Structures are given as structure tokens and as C-alpha cells.
Amino acid sequence: MKSMKYFSYALCAAALAFASCTQPTNGNGGGDKDLVLSASKSEITADGTDKVTFTVKYGEEDVTANASIADAATGEALSGSEFATETAGSYEFVASYDGKESNKVKVDATTVSGLVLSVDKESIVNDGEDTATFTVTFDGNDVTAQATIVNQTSGQAWAEGVHTFVSSASGEYEFKASYNDMRSNTVKVTVTMEAVNPLVLTATRPRIAADGSDATSFKVMYEGEDVTDAAKIKNLATGEYLESNSFSYSGDLKVVEFEAEYEGATSEPINVGFGDFYKNVLFCRFTATWCGPCTSFSSVLSAALEQYPDRLVQVAIHQNDEYTSNNYYDFASYFKFSGIPAIFFDFDKEGPSAVSMSAADVVNTIKEYQATGAKVGIAMSSTVDAARNVKVTVRVTPSEAGSYLLGVALLEDGIEGPQNGTSGYIHDNTMRALATSLGGDSLGDVAENTEVVKEYTFSLKGYTDNCRVVAYVNTADGDVYATTNAASCPVNGRTDYRFETAAE
């Protein structure tokens, strides 16, 4: 019995040893995650400019910034995650992280031929008009008309002879040319946004009582630095400079404009008002590229806005087409409709029938909702970083104390694309993304003339720079919303508080 017991122990030990020997591994010394090195491309031109970008992932985690990437043959580590060379040949790279080693990745660097690509501008503005023009030469002869230029960044090969580049999307773009089975050097073009005014003036209280005692103060920022004490603030109604950064008013004006001056720079003007905020009507329109009646209604709407402009903030919500937002069902589940075009004003679920409306009907409907007035004012600013992320700052000030909700959405304009019944159609106000819940995120109970500031971020990836941010403020009765005001701001731009200046 004792020998049988020892034999059983021996069998167990052998089984454990076998299991440990046959346990699958990730090739990195054990563990349950692989260290994987990948490259943005497998071939570059040995011109010292063309480059490959590596990514290192440990399981699902991107660890590129903390990993070491090295030439597998020489052991020489890269200074970052990119590789370029002027020496043709084949190279292999390997990454290491947390004591583990990745797979090897091969990159071929090809010889630079006598084919040379050049460009007249290395930087252009994202206005869709500023143009970079390429020239392709072979052994000193101009072969631009016979060459093909490839946008390496987008992967798009242009038609033979096409050699100009414009863009409405900022970023860095790389190009190569091909001719008679030869490939050129790489040329880079940077597309930038127009610079925003670095001098910014804000009022701590944009709305005050015109009683001579209620006051607001001002703040002046220059490139992110507070320069209030050194700046001059000008009252544009009188042309006079303030003796301090404080202002009070007693009189009949509805609004007074101010601007700041600092070291030769002048800020954009801002408003300080004493009465009602300017009322914009939020207009949600369900549409689609395949919808014939939508095209007809667009013409009616355009005619209405020519007669009565500057009161609508539009949001076009596409249904079942290439412009349909991931947030479509947020809107569709709130606004009930049986067909499109379907239109809704200020979150009122009882939308009129767009198909039966004339331009005069649209104008009268806008006026009806406008007459409810604005209980809050909205100001916005947005900046875009190098990665094309939009940081949005929304400022809300109530003229009537209450509980409010803030909705923020990203829209895109100027999209040329298909539309039933017409060609060369331009889609504007196209809903792209929501940063908040549909009805809006709660601002809580806010006192009169007390400003609330919120920040949000959007990515422009997949969109042009021709985008806008729309903010709307709702009140709520249970799960039913009513919009009291809305505003729109271009990306990389500003929109100040507005006040009513005359009775409609």
C-alpha cells in the first residue's frame, strides 16, 4: 500500500512537470499578454525624410512611449518611435518592454532614383483655396505631366498630371511621385489653421443692471497669460478708456461694446448688456441624401432665411446615409415622426409638417418660438490642437434664476456629396457628435447673472476643419425639454454673448 501511495505521488509530479513543459507561452518569457511591434509601412525611400512610425502594444495597451525600439542587427536603439535613413537596405527592428521582447518587423529602404519631387509651399492654410503646387523632374527634365503623385497620408493616388494640393483638414501630409516604375523622394506639406487672436477680453458678469451701482469687471489674457493690469480697456460706445477694469452703467443703451489693447494687439469686441439676451431658435431637421422631399424643403428653408435671417441655429440629423451620426437614435427616440423631412423647433416634439410649409410659414413659426424669449445667454470659444482635438469652453449666464441643462454638439458644414434630385449638393449643419446627453447635462440651480463655465472636447478625425460647435440650453419638465436659447461657434473661434437691441 505504501509503494502504491508513493507511485501515485510520482504520477502526480510527472503530470505537473509535463503540464508546465507543454504550457503555451507568448514567446516573451511567459505571461498572458503578447508584446507586439507594428509599423505604419514596410517600405520607405532612403532620402532621410521618408519615415516609418512604429507602435508597440502589450496586449491591448499601447506602450510605445515607454518601450525601447532597436535595430535587431546592431542593437542600436531609436531615439523615439520613428525611423528614417539615407542608406538603402533592409532593416529589422525589435521592441522591448518590461523585460519582454517583441516580434521582429522588417522595413526596406529603397534607393533614391533620379526622380525628384518638389513643392512650392511647405505650408498652406486650411481654407480650401491656398494651394501647394508640385513639380516632378527626372534627371533635370520636367515630367510632371506624365508623373503620378500619391498622397502617402491618405493613400490616394492622383490622376496622372494632377499636381496641386488644397485641403480643408489641418495636419501634416506626405507625398511621393512615381514615373516609369521609379519612385521619388518624400515631400511634406503642413496644413495649418488661421491663427486666432491671442488677446482675449472677457467680462466677469456679462449682464448687469443699468442702475449705476451694479458693476462688472474685466479680464485680459494674452497667449494664456493674465495681462489685465497692463492692458487698456476701451468703451466703444464713448471711445474712452476705462480708468480701472470695472464698469457700471446708467442710461438707455441695451448693450455696450468693449475691446482691449495690449502691446499693439487689439482684442475682438465683447458685449456687456443690461436687458434681454438675444433669442436664437434651435431647429432640428431630420433629413437624408436619398430623400426627395428633403431637397424641396431645403429650398423653402433657404427662402425663409433670406427673408428672416439670423434667428435659427440649425442641426441637420441624417437618417440611414453616409452622414448619419452615431447619436442619431438619441434624437430619433425623443422626436417622434413617421417620415422625413421632419422638423422640430426648440425641442418641441409637436413639430409642424415640413412638406406642407411655405417660406412664409417657416418665418412665422420662427417668430412664434422666438417670442418666448431667452432665459439665458451663451458665449463660446474653441481651440484646436496639433492632433485636431477641439477644446470647447461654453459660458452660460441666466437672466432668470432657474434649473438649466446644457447640450453641446459638433456639426460640419460645406460637405459636397450626393442628394436625391440634384448634383453638386452642399450639406451644411450636419450633425457629427454629441458631447453631452441629448437633453443636456445639468447645470444645477443657477442664480440670475451668475455665469457657469463648462469645457468639452471633440475629435475632428474623419472630418474637415469646416466644423462648428452648437450649444443649447434647455429647461425640463420631467423627460420633456424646452430650449430657451442656442448659439453656434466655429472651431478655432469665438462667439460672445448677444443682447436684444430693439423690439421685433
pLDDT digits 0-9 by tens, 455-502: 999 999 999 999 999 999 999 999 999 999 999 999 999 999 999 997
What is the reported pLDDT for 22?
Answer: 33
What is the reported pLDDT for 26?
Answer: 40
Whether 409 and 470 have beta carbons less than 8 Å apart is answered as: yes
- State the average pLDDT over residues 308-331: 97
What is the reported pLDDT for 217?
Answer: 97
Q: Cβ neighbours of residue 216 under 8 Å, at least 6 residues apart? A: 203, 204, 205, 206, 208, 246, 247, 248, 272
Going by DSSP bridges, is the β-strand pair 100-110/43-45 parallel, antiparallel, or unpaired?
Answer: parallel
- For residue 143, what is its C-alpha cell? 515630367
In the predicted model, is pLDDT for residue 309 greater than 60? yes
- For residue 25, what is its C-alpha cell? 507561452
Q: How confident is the model at residue 50 (pLDDT cuts 50, 70, 90)?
A: confident
What is the reported pLDDT for 11?
Answer: 37
b (16+ CB within 10 A) / e for 204-219: eebbbebeeeeebebb
DSSP letter assigned to residue 68: E
What is the reported pLDDT for 49?
Answer: 79
What is the tens place of the pLDDT at every residue in 75-127? 999 999 999 998 989 999 999 999 999 999 999 998 777 899 999 999 999 98
What is the reported pLDDT for 359?
Answer: 97
What is d(CA 78, CA 478) in angstroms, rounded to the nearest whole number? 59
Paired residues of 259 in beta bridges: 234
Domain ranges for the chain, please list them.
Answer: 35-110, 115-192, 199-273, 281-495
- For residue 483, what is its C-alpha cell? 430650449
What is the reported pLDDT for 73?
Answer: 95
In the predicted model, is pLDDT for residue 339 greater than 50? yes
What is the reported pLDDT for 169?
Answer: 93
What is the reported pLDDT for 220?
Answer: 98
> What pTM was estimated for this model as a whole?
0.78
What is the reported pLDDT for 12?
Answer: 39
The pair phi, psi for residue 249, each rounded to 5°, is -150, 145
Cell 488644397 locates to 166
Paired residues of 119 in beta bridges: 134
What is the reported pLDDT for 503?
Answer: 54
- State the average pLDDT over residues 291-303: 95
Select 35-110's CATH number: 1.10.1740.10, 3.20.20.300, 1.10.1070.11, 2.60.40.1080.
2.60.40.1080
- State the average pLDDT over residues 44-50: 83
Cα distances (Å, whole numbers) of residue 407 to 314, 455, 472 = 14, 12, 5
CATH code: domain 199-273 is 2.60.40
What is the reported pLDDT for 360?
Answer: 97
- State the average pLDDT over residues 345-372: 95
What is the reported pLDDT for 16?
Answer: 38
Burial class (CB within 10 angstroms; exposed 0-12, middle 13-18, buried 19+) of 67: buried
- State the average pLDDT over residues 289-309: 96
Whether 323 and 356 have beta carbons less than 8 Å apart is answered as: no
What is d(CA 139, CA 103) in angstroms, rounded to the nearest whole number? 41
Of the listed ranges 18-22, 38-42, 188-192, the least confidently predicted one is 18-22
Handedness of CA 383, 389, 390, 392 (dihedral sign): negative
In the predicted model, is pLDDT for residue 294 greater than 70? yes
What is the reported pLDDT for 194?
Answer: 87
CATH code: domain 115-192 is 2.60.40.1080
Domains 199-273 and 281-495 share a fold: yes
In the predicted model, is pLDDT for residue 13 greater than 50? no
Q: How confident is the model at residue 430 (pLDDT cuts 50, 70, 90)?
A: very high
Single out the residue of 419, 489, 493, 412 nearest to residue 169, CA to CA. 412
Topology of the domain comprising 281-495? Immunoglobulin-like (2.60.40)
Whether 182 and 175 have beta carbons less than 8 Å apart is answered as: no
